[in-house]
Amino acid sequence: MKKTMAILLTVIIFAALSAPSLASSPPPAPTIARVNYGPLGLDTRFAVYAIIPQSFDAYIASGGLESIELEVMYNEGDGEWRPAYSVVILGSTPPGTMPFNLFHSINAAPWSEFRARLVYNYGTASGGSSPVYSAWSAPKRAVDAPVVTSQGIVFYDYTYGYTVTLPLSWTGLFLINSGSGDRTVFMNKRNQAEVYLGQLFSIAVTDGERPDMPDPVRIASANGKTAWYSIPGGVNYDAGNASLRSEYLAMANDVQAIIRSFRFGTARPTVAASPSSSSVVVNGTPVVIGAYTINNSNYFKLRDLAYILSGTEAQFDVGFNIDFNAISLTSGVPYSTQGAPPTGVGPGIKQAAPNASVIFIDGIVTDLTAYTIDSLNYFMLRDIARAFDFFVTWDNVTDTLVIDTTRGYNG
């Protein structure tokens, strides 16, 4: 039976599909939010998510628009863009903001870049004009995908805080399974795709104990963690195929140099967040709400802002799609309260990581500055004020943040 040490790439594509004009202006490009990979399968798995506008079915029914097609392409680092998948979105979804979901798999390397675009195919009511193409979205890749440098291919393991550098000669030849418990497995791609595992070596990080892997060898220790590596026993390549055999053995000769490149100390970038001392007044009424100061700007918990603004001219509701890591904000709607009312934040400086969610406001992908602190999302107050058009200022005499939803955003 064929055995595999598998890798899953998850490409999450958010496309806010605004109804296209039957004129010639291209619609907006979709946004590729992230590219992650894990150990669930060798194929790349696409999760495509789109917001369908109310007018979508009307365009289809009128014959003015036959379909909208989404095209996805990928580049494995060699500069060549290859078709990954395309799907025609027909008027089968009920009107409104119902999501359109698609799952599809292809075979692609975990360091690949991806891009996508929309194709609007016009019908007879529009004179059967040529399709209108959106711009390609900007290429996106995994945050922790290997990075090609002049010294080699650097692999970042943010979970366990280390890097190793692979030789440039490995370009296009390797796979990485970074989801096997406490270990990461490095493999020869071609032999892995055949009946052999193609494993070259593994790295595990533990609290000091020996990992459950063949003949582990200690690499380094730091901050209570110990790194180990292991070379697989047995034959992990097709010994009867000269090309596969020589490729695997050449890569195996590089393993010791790779192990010597191991370095602890890699972590996701964070910034310091200090508890804010400012009071907050909304439409003349003091409110209890905690905030952090990051780079001299005030950041509030998103749901706290929705709570204190509910019932005002700037009210909005908050939704979260866990499958797509998407935050959706809906303007003009009272906040559907979840959890307790706002409170202050605790003492002490926290480390804030850039927020990884994609944010929709009224169905449109929006760029807002946000950080995650203790697993909660904090947004820049002025970004929210700009998005929902309310006035905000700081009274330096009383150290008070003043929010006035009866006035427009003041820039």
Give the residue extent of every domain in the chain.
8-133, 147-264, 271-404
CA atoms within 13 A on the CB side of 33: 25
Instruction: Confirm if 153 and 167 have CB atoms less than 8 A apart.
Output: yes
C-alpha closest to that of 241 among 279, 200, 191, 286: 191
pLDDT for 18 equals 43
pTM, 2 dp: 0.52
Spatial CB neighbours of 276, under 8 Å, sequence gap ≥ 6? 290, 291, 292, 293, 298, 345
Mean per-residue pLDDT pooled into runs of 10, the chain (411 residues)? 33 41 47 43 48 53 69 77 79 44 60 75 62 72 68 82 91 73 82 82 93 93 93 90 95 97 80 91 93 91 93 91 73 83 84 79 76 88 93 92 93 67
pLDDT for 23 equals 42
pLDDT for 89 equals 67
Kindly report the backbone phi and psi dihedral angles of residue 330, in degrees, each rounded to the nearest multiple of 5, phi listed first.
-120, 115
C-alpha closest to that of 145 among 133, 160, 135, 155: 155
pLDDT for 20 equals 42
pLDDT for 169 equals 92
Fold category of 8-133 in CATH: Hemocyanin; Chain: A, domain 2 (2.60.310)
